């Protein structure tokens, strides 16, 4: 046996199952050939494999417990919680505005969606949904749609890499980087932006941002064309993905699945169309559906959705050009007083603002101090707001007790919900198909565990 009973970090524990003696193979630093010989000597085809939580193809720290009969998966269970950081609890100890800084880190590939869901729900609690300026909404839509592209690109890139297609990975990350540099220019950060705030956005677009977006869109479109040439009719890729991870409409409805997985069954369910927020009803775009309900259909949906997002982004920059309006609600009791500017050491407080509060206006200083340290009060009650994140319905349930901090903030993360479909998608398939099926759900463990 390759078990190491003296290893304090990997003790073999109680190796007996309830009714039968089971053989345990530990693959910690042993020789694979030895392990295979041992397994072969047993003449037992049924084997339980613990895949993850540290496994390169489980999108972070997802633990899959697979029961195998030879190469066939007979049972699958997903174990989560390895990235639980208590974001919801932490938000109860910060002001409503500071909450944005926490929730943006949940699903770290979709920061703008996390922020938007939270802010929409806070705005609903405040009753200021209609007062958010038009320009702020357009910027939100622009950032969310660009973010949708980056998220889908990572889904394709990592999904491709898990199947051994490293070129897909390099192309995907290369294109993502172009958009991340837009995020960096606008928000100061590539990820974890904390840019969308209750009442609007943190600051207006810097000079040159619109031109940068306009210049980047054709480049990304060209890169997407490259990905399509590489993927769409690739016989190896189709061999790995077609009819893999099948989940039909009934299964999706029962398991509450939303996003590309649901749209791959042919149902055009998209919250941007069903209950538009941030003015999505005024944009011209299509909801992409396919009917094959397999991993390949989800891949194609993601590619086509990126083109739709580019279409929306183009409409956004046209509107931004013609609308120089404010980007924060007029109510000074809610609007964040500080202004940001790029300095020599990165984004920070604008020197003009510092000069005003420290040098000229005592009232400005008091106002700044009160709002930044104490925050604003939100009338008691609860609200639920949902946005269509790249992965599905991202909902935010916030409760206020009238104080300056959330009484409770709960996120319904689409990855958390959609991972429940792992068993339905994988059981009865091959071990190698598990990777493809899980990748087609596109779970991000930061969002799953929060």
Residues at the contact surface with another protein, assessed by CB under 8 A: 80-81, 84, 86, 88-90, 92-94, 124-125, 127, 130, 253-258, 267, 269, 271, 274-275, 281, 374-375, 379-384, 386, 393, 395, 397, 399, 401-405, 407-408, 410, 412, 416-417, 419-420, 449-450
Please state the closest distance from residue 95 (CB atom) to another protein, in A. 9
Please state the closest distance from residue 281 (CB atom) to another protein, in A. 7
Nearest CB to another protein, comparing residues 183 and 416: 416
Nearest CB to another protein, comparing residues 77 and 332: 77
Please state the closest distance from residue 81 (CB atom) to another protein, in A. 4
Nearest CB to another protein, comparing residues 218 and 379: 379
Please state the closest distance from residue 247 (CB atom) to another protein, in A. 13
Please state the closest distance from residue 402 (CB atom) to another protein, in A. 6
Nearest CB to another protein, comparing residues 56 and 86: 86
Nearest CB to another protein, comparing residues 3 and 382: 382
Please state the closest distance from residue 252 (CB atom) to another protein, in A. 10
Nearest CB to another protein, comparing residues 63 and 152: 63
Please state the closest distance from residue 441 (CB atom) to another protein, in A. 13
Nearest CB to another protein, comparing residues 222 and 370: 370
3-state SS of the chain? CCCCCCCCCCCCCCCECCCCECCCCCCCCCCHHHHHHHHHHHCCCEEEEEECCCCCCCCCCCEEEEEEECCEEEEEEEECCCCCCCHHHHHCCCCHHHHHHHHCCCCCCCHHHHHHHHHHHHHHHHCCHHHCCHHHHHHHHHHHHHHHHHHHHHHHHHHHHHCCCHHHHHHHHHHHHHHHHHHHHHHCCCCCCCCEECCEECCCCCCCHHHHHHHHHHHHHHHHHHHHHHHCCCHHHHHHHCCCCCCCHHHHHHHCCCCHHHHCCCCCCCHHHHCCCCCHHHCCCCCCCCCCCCHHHHHHHHHHHHHHHHHHHHHHHHHHHHCCCCCECCCCCCCCCCCEEEECCEEEECHHHHHHHHHHCHHHHHHHHHHHHHCCCCCCEEEEEEEEECCEEEEEEEEECCCCCCCEEEEECHHHHHHHHHHHHHCCCEHHHHHHHHHHHCCCHHHHHC
């Amino acid at each position: 046996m390759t078990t190491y009973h003296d290893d304090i970090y990997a003790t073999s524990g109680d190796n007996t199952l309830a009714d039968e003696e089971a053989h345990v193979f530990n693959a910690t630093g042993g020789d694979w050939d030895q392990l295979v010989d041992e397994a072969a000597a047993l003449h037992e085809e049924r084997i339980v494999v613990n895949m993850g939580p540290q496994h390169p193809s489980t999108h972070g720290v997802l633990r899959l417990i697979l029961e195998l009969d030879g190469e066939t998966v007979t049972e699958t269970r997903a174990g989560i919680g390895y990235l639980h950081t208590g974001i919801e609890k932490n938000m109860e100890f910060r002001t409503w505005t500071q909450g944005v800084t926490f929730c943006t880190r949940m699903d770290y590939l979709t920061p703008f969606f996390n922020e938007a869901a939270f802010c929409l729900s806070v705005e609903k609690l405040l009753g200021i949904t209609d007062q958010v300026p038009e320009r702020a909404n357009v910027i939100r839509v622009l950032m969310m749609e660009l973010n949708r592209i980056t998220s889908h690109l990572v889904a394709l890139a990592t999904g491709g890499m898990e199947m051994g297609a490293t070129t897909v990975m390099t192309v995907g990350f290369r294109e993502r980087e172009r958009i991340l540099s837009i995020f960096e220019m606008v928000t100061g950060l590539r990820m974890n932006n904390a840019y969308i705030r209750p009442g609007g956005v943190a600051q207006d677009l810097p000079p040159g941002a619109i031109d940068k977006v306009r210049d980047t869109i054709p480049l990304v479109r060209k890169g997407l064309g490259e990905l399509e040439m590489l993927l769409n009719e690739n016989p190896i890729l189709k061999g790995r993905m077609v009819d893999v991870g099948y989940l039909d409409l009934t299964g999706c409805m029962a398991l509450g699945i939303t996003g590309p997985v649901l749209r791959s069954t042919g149902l055009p369910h998209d919250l941007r169309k069903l209950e538009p927020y941030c003015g999505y009803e005024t944009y011209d775009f299509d909801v992409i559906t396919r009917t094959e309900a397999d991993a390949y259909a989800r891949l194609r949906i993601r590619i086509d959705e990126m083109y739709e997002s580019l279409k929306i982004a183009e409409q956004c920059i046209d509107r931004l050009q013609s609308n120089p309006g404010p980007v924060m609600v007029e109510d000074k009791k809610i609007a964040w007083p500080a202004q940001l500017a790029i300095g020599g050491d990165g984004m920070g407080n604008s020197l003009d603002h510092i000069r005003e509060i420290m040098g000229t206006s005592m009232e400005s200083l008091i106002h700044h101090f009160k709002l930044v340290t104490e925050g604003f009060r939100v009338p008691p009650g609860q609200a639920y707001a949902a946005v269509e994140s790249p992965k599905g319905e991202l909902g935010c349930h916030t409760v206020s007790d009238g104080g300056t901090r959330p009484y409770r903030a709960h996120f319904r993360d689409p990855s958390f919900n959609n991972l429940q479909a792992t068993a339905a998608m994988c059981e009865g398939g091959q071990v190698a198909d598990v990777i493809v099926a899980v990748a087609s759900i596109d779970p991000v463990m930061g969002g799953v565990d929060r």
